[in-house]
Structure 1
Amino acid sequence: MNGAYNPLLVFLSLATASLASYTALELAGRISSLPDGRSRLPWLIGGAVVMGIGIWSMHFIGMLAFSLPIRLGYDFGITAISVLLASAASFLALTTVNRGHLSALRISVGGIAMGLGIAGMHYTGMAAMQMSPPIRYTVWIVAASIAIAIVASIAALWIAFTLRASEEQNIVLKRLAAALVMGLAITGMHYTGMSAANFETGSICLSVGKLDPDWLAMIVSVASLTVLIGTLIFLGWHTSSLANSLRRANVTLQHLGTHDALTNLPNRVLLANRVQLAIDAFSPSGSTFAVLFLDLDGFKTINDSLGHAVGDELLKMCAQRLRENVRKDDVVARVGGDEFVIVLNGPIEPSAAEHIAACLVRVVCEEAIIHNVRLRVSTSIGIALFPRDGRSTEGLLHSADSAMYNAKQSGRNMYRFFEVAMHGNATRTLTLQRDLQQALEDGHLSVAFQPKFNMVEQSMTGAEALIRWIHPELGNIPPLEFIPIAERSGQIIQIGEWVIKEVCRCIALWKAEGLAPIQIAINLSPVQFNVPDLVERIGAIVRAAHVSPQYLMFEITETAAMQNAERTTETLHKFRASGFQMAIDDFGTGHSSLAYLRQFQVSQVKVDQSFTKELDLHELEGGALISAIVTLSHALHMNVVAEGVETEAQLVKLTALGCDQAQGFLLAKPLPAEAFQQFQRALDRALAESELFAASAGRSIEIPIPN
């Protein structure tokens, strides 16, 4: 019994095979881009079902294209099995092609398994007609169809794997061409298999009435095309979605690469770009624009003492204040921990830049409340003008940075325009910061001792330890110059501990030499004072040196004490509990509250030397201030030490005002450790001869200091 083919359905089967192949290639490419097996499995299963339905649809449309002069039908159960076989073969194909390395053996084994699966699907689908007598197959043609299925499967796997690794250029055209080749191969296998079928004359179909071939042709065609085209549409949408996500991610990454994560301000990279754009824009005309370099004064102390959470909030608040107080076209960038740079776009007059800088100094200094804590920082600003102070990005930033350091050295909380001499100062600052560590290791640092005298009993009551640095090339470096550098760099912690160790060593040595022990006062940097375990660390140093805590007094400035009065009170209590005495240094220059001064319970209050000098210029006003400090301190059971006594007149007035102790060049200059030891011996001899404190005669003891 001979059959005939419907040309339209034959073409539709070829189109379905090619569409299924293209969908398979798209899925293979998509699955290979997924990161791991867990994320690939849902795609593999879904892809296998879609691809299996596509291949099965092609075969079934091809079978429906074949007509016999009898009524035909298809068994639902057997037809479903053929669909499962197609999906299983597709799952095997997608799994194989998405392995990391596809060897020739793996392609061959996978192709054979896939080809047998497709052939099994075809002949299972043929069996769904349930012909009686059964269909008789020509063996060699069946073998040829299976061989074609295997070869086509191997070729399909190779093409899919090759395209997976192919460059994106012309990938769609490559997949279309490959899909057409694969579609022809699959279609060829199908019609070869169909030609192997022989239907006996008088055969009947036992599946008539189960699945009507006419309706089935329409349903299969529409359903398969819907599934395949729907899959491609989904893949296209997914690709577009991924592209949009990637585009958004790139925008985010670009933003993160050019902006500070904490403040969302431009970072150093974007700042350099903006400065260069300004240079390019104003170079032809020679017009001026300004670069402001800002550093927050006192931020490190707050950050170290109150924690990074408070520090971060303070930085964000300062960043907001800076943004709100510059012009719309100006650029505010964060370039370091507490460093900001502002580009004032031109043309701009120096006076306008100065006005903006003054405004920024004012607004940054305003009080901030963070985590229910009242905080205040200031800013030092350096101003560089283009083209006067630099014609390159690096040059302008360097000039503004140098001016900022000059503002800090001049007292902070101010702005400075760049001057040529400042470059040398900035270079010197960097040199000192670099050499400080080496100075500590090489013994270039030393401690000098300036005596303190009791103004009533006319005896030495102790001394203040003062650090000295003799640089091998630059000579004597004043503490007022290198201490701020050490504070900014964090080296002050190590230097401060070294001073304590050196003082303890000297006290132990003097005791061993038979000298009467005296109390030595040591200054604590605000940075050092805010170290959480400061008291414990100092206690360990003192115990290791076998020195009693009663011979040590620690001084903190009034300004440092008031930065966080509650925490200061707690730390001072720990010092007292450990046997140390404490003093408030530079009293009268800060903003301390009388209530807090009572709460601090220190042993000494040291009147700042500026008040001592004021006695010579404005005796009434200066005397009134010192008298008030003495009265307050005595009421709180604290001794008063007058600093910076340089004239006999000052000494007489301070004695009359009730100061308990004094120190200054009139009485004794700071002495190296060995000279101070000689000074103590001379004092012992002078005391025995009642020649110690001849202030009324205008004499002070002169002790020869060894070179």
Structure 2
Amino acid sequence: MTTTMNPPPTANTAPLIETHWLLEGCLPNQTGISRIAMHQFPFCIGRDAACDLQIASRSVSKRHAKILHNPAAVIVQDLSSTNGTFVNGGRISVPTPVGVNDLIQFADIEMRLAREVSQAAEFTCVAQQPEQSWLISRLNEVLNEGRMKVYFQPIVTGPDREIFGYEALVRTDVSGLESPLELFRAATRLGLSTRLSQNCRSEAVRAIEEAGVPGALFLNTEPNEVLGEELIRSMKDLRDLTNNRQLVLEIHEEAMQETKTLSKFAAALRDLGIQLAFDDFGAGQSRLLELAQILPDYLKFDRSLVKDLGTPGALHENLVRTLHETANSLGIKTLAEGLETAESIQACDTIGFDFHQGFAFGRPQPFRIS
């Protein structure tokens, strides 16, 4: 960033403080973070060369948005763009005030509003936040720079412990996003959780096919993902990449929509030969009505229901048995998640679970190509 420097103050003058507003983010055809100082307002953003910030992306309109500044606030205004302007993940339709560290998206280009304060007497500029903490740049590393890794955890059959398939789980070593929970929380804040979810599934299919490992592949959705045509199309594309591998799409109960929509979605999956699993059953409100009406292929019991089975304090064992028997009577296979102890495994065998999953049968790890 270029900053105009003023001469040092005399003994009778106070140091001059200057504030500079910047946009920080990852621009097309550039590596790393770009930092654009806004020296004048209004500051126009768009694809046109006449804009103050020209973004070479077809998703960005010629005159996409402008940023205004007055003594009270910095304001973002969309200029009737085709693909929208977003502040902290929400599309805006009226001039919207923004502050330091707010996330601004111009179509699919994500940026962050930053401010630098310079004190002319010291000829220095102090950044509000260090580069390693930039949410946009870190998520860009995951989505666009190959820092996403897919790990696979085995799923075994209950009676004989044979590997039936694998659940694909995302991991990254990007600082601050190592936890999948934090990774998806960051993506949700930027409005990129669906894209991240799609990338995870695509990378999982690529990795398991490249490794040539047999078995069913269980793929996750994320709670904000719409169970509609876009997801169906992406699953069809993945199915076409596999060599007759059984794909299973897991739906968390938080993502379950009204029954009619869910039923239509399940039917579209079955038309593609893709199976459906209800994930984390029992972690929240158990959706028994949807279970009976949708009839998923698998019901994955949350670890909170099964981890203490077989111990003296497991007063809910009869409840778990009843839920398992109800699912089996509907033709639904049951899977116990999070199994780690011999006691819980024995209890699940006694109840009759069809499949087991947990550290006792293998930790998530990447496939190694020989």
Instruction: Give the TM interval when normalised to the shorter protein.
Output: 0.5 to 0.7
Which of 181, 194, 203 in structure 2 is aligned with 1:502?
203
CA contact (8 A) 1:614 1:622 kept: no
Q: Is the counterpart of residue 645 in structure 1 residue 339 in structure 2?
A: yes
Amino acid at match of 1:538: M
Q: Is the counterpart of residue 470 in structure 1 residue 173 in structure 2?
A: yes
**C-alpha displacement of 1:336:** 8.5
Aligned residue for 2:359, secondary structure, equals coil
Q: Which residue of 2 aligns with 1:534?
A: 231
CA contact (8 A) 1:584 1:604 kept: yes
Q: Is the counterpart of residue 552 in structure 1 residue 253 in structure 2?
A: no
Hey, what's the Cα distance between the residues in 2 that align with 1:602 and 1:428? 45
CA contact (8 A) 1:507 1:547 kept: no
Amino acid at match of 1:492: S
Q: Which residue of 1 aligns with 2:216?
A: 519
Which of 243, 247, 264 in structure 2 is aligned with 1:570?
264
**C-alpha displacement of 1:430:** 6.5
- From the two aligned structures, give the one with the greater strand fraction: 2
Q: Which residue of 2 aligns with 1:149?
A: none
**C-alpha displacement of 1:572:** 1.2
Hey, what's the Cα distance between the residues in 2 that align with 1:430 and 1:553? 36
Hey, what's the Cα distance between the residues in 1 that align with 2:132 and 2:254? 24
Choose between structure 1 and 2 for higher RCO, CA contacts under 8 A separated by at least 6 residues: 2
CA contact (8 A) 1:439 1:445 kept: yes
CA contact (8 A) 1:553 1:582 kept: yes
Aligned residue for 1:606, secondary structure, equals strand
CA contact (8 A) 2:228 2:265 kept: no
Hey, what's the Cα distance between the residues in 2 that align with 1:630 and 1:497? 31
**C-alpha displacement of 1:460:** 0.7
CA contact (8 A) 1:432 1:482 kept: no
Q: Is the counterpart of residue 666 in structure 1 residue 360 in structure 2?
A: yes
Q: Where do 1:21-420 residues align within 5 Å?
A: 337=90
CA contact (8 A) 2:157 2:164 kept: yes
CA contact (8 A) 1:565 1:596 kept: yes
Amino acid at match of 1:438: E
Q: Deviations over 1:407-434 (max 9, x none)?
A: xxxxxxxxxxxxxxxxxxx999973444
- Structure exhibiting the larger radius of gyration computed from Cα positions: 1
Hey, what's the Cα distance between the residues in 2 that align with 1:336 and 1:505? 29
Q: Which residue of 1 aligns with 2:320?
A: 626
CA contact (8 A) 1:520 1:551 kept: yes
**C-alpha displacement of 1:619:** 4.2
Q: Deviations over 1:161-210 (max 9, x none)?
A: xxxxxxxxxxxxxxxxxxxxxxxxxxxxxxxxxxxxxxxxxxxxxxxxxx
CA contact (8 A) 2:164 2:216 kept: yes
CA contact (8 A) 2:253 2:281 kept: yes
- From the two aligned structures, give the one with the greater helix fraction: 1
CA contact (8 A) 1:611 1:626 kept: yes
Hey, what's the Cα distance between the residues in 2 that align with 1:519 and 1:494? 23
Hey, what's the Cα distance between the residues in 2 that align with 1:427 and 1:568? 44
**C-alpha displacement of 1:616:** 6.1
Hey, what's the Cα distance between the residues in 1 that align with 2:188 and 2:89? 16
Aligned residue for 2:326, secondary structure, equals helix
CA contact (8 A) 1:497 1:538 kept: no
Which of 596, 604, 613 in structure 1 is aligned with 2:290?
596
Hey, what's the Cα distance between the residues in 1 that align with 2:229 and 2:236? 13
**C-alpha displacement of 1:505:** 1.8
**C-alpha displacement of 1:475:** 7.0
Q: Which residue of 2 aligns with 1:460?
A: 163
Which of 281, 304, 313 in structure 2 is aligned with 1:587?
281
Using the TM superposition, name which of 624-633 and 489-498 deviates more.
489-498
Q: Which residue of 1 aligns with 2:113?
A: none
CA contact (8 A) 2:278 2:300 kept: yes
Q: 1:556 to 1:615 in 2, by over 3 A?
A: same
CA contact (8 A) 1:429 1:485 kept: no
Hey, what's the Cα distance between the residues in 2 that align with 1:526 and 1:578? 22
Amino acid at match of 1:584: F
Q: 1:583 to 1:433 in 2, by over 3 A?
A: farther
**C-alpha displacement of 1:449:** 0.2
Using the TM superposition, name which of 628-637 and 617-626 deviates more.
617-626
Unaligned ranges ≥5, structure 1: 1-268, 274-333, 340-392, 399-425, 679-707
Q: Which residue of 1 aligns with 2:192?
A: 491
**C-alpha displacement of 1:629:** 1.8
Aligned residue for 2:164, secondary structure, equals strand
Q: 1:645 to 1:580 in 2, by over 3 A?
A: same
**C-alpha displacement of 1:476:** 6.5
**TM-score, with length taken from structure 1:** 0.33
Hey, what's the Cα distance between the residues in 2 that align with 1:655 and 1:538? 33
Q: 1:470 to 1:452 in 2, by over 3 A?
A: same
**C-alpha displacement of 1:566:** 2.1
Amino acid at match of 2:253: E
Aligned residue for 2:273, secondary structure, equals coil
Hey, what's the Cα distance between the residues in 2 that align with 1:533 and 1:670? 29
Amino acid at match of 1:518: G
**C-alpha displacement of 1:442:** 1.6
CA contact (8 A) 2:310 2:347 kept: no
**C-alpha displacement of 1:542:** 2.9
Hey, what's the Cα distance between the residues in 1 that align with 2:89 and 2:184? 21
Aligned residue for 1:535, secondary structure, equals helix
Q: Deviations over 1:31-50 (max 9, x none)?
A: xxxxxxxxxxxxxxxxxxxx
Hey, what's the Cα distance between the residues in 2 that align with 1:336 and 1:617? 45
Hey, what's the Cα distance between the residues in 2 that align with 1:335 and 1:451? 37
Q: 1:664 to 1:433 in 2, by over 3 A?
A: farther
Q: Deviations over 1:263-312 (max 9, x none)?
A: xxxxxx9xx79xxxxxxxxxxxxxxxxxxxxxxxxxxxxxxxxxxxxxxx
Hey, what's the Cα distance between the residues in 2 that align with 1:673 and 1:609? 25
Q: 1:629 to 1:439 in 2, by over 3 A?
A: same
**C-alpha displacement of 1:608:** 0.3
Q: 1:449 to 1:492 in 2, by over 3 A?
A: same
Q: 1:656 to 1:619 in 2, by over 3 A?
A: farther
Q: Deviations over 1:115-146 (max 9, x none)?
A: xxxxxxxxxxxxxxxxxxxxxxxxxxxxxxxx
**C-alpha displacement of 1:534:** 1.3
Unaligned ranges ≥5, structure 2: 1-68, 74-86, 93-97, 103-128
Q: Which residue of 2 aligns with 1:216?
A: none
Aligned residue for 1:589, secondary structure, equals coil
Amino acid at match of 1:490: G
Hey, what's the Cα distance between the residues in 2 that align with 1:578 and 1:539? 7
CA contact (8 A) 2:153 2:167 kept: yes
**C-alpha displacement of 1:668:** 0.6
Hey, what's the Cα distance between the residues in 2 that align with 1:595 and 1:521? 24
CA contact (8 A) 1:492 1:527 kept: yes
**C-alpha displacement of 1:500:** 2.2
Hey, what's the Cα distance between the residues in 2 that align with 1:602 and 1:438? 36
Q: 1:609 to 1:427 in 2, by over 3 A?
A: farther
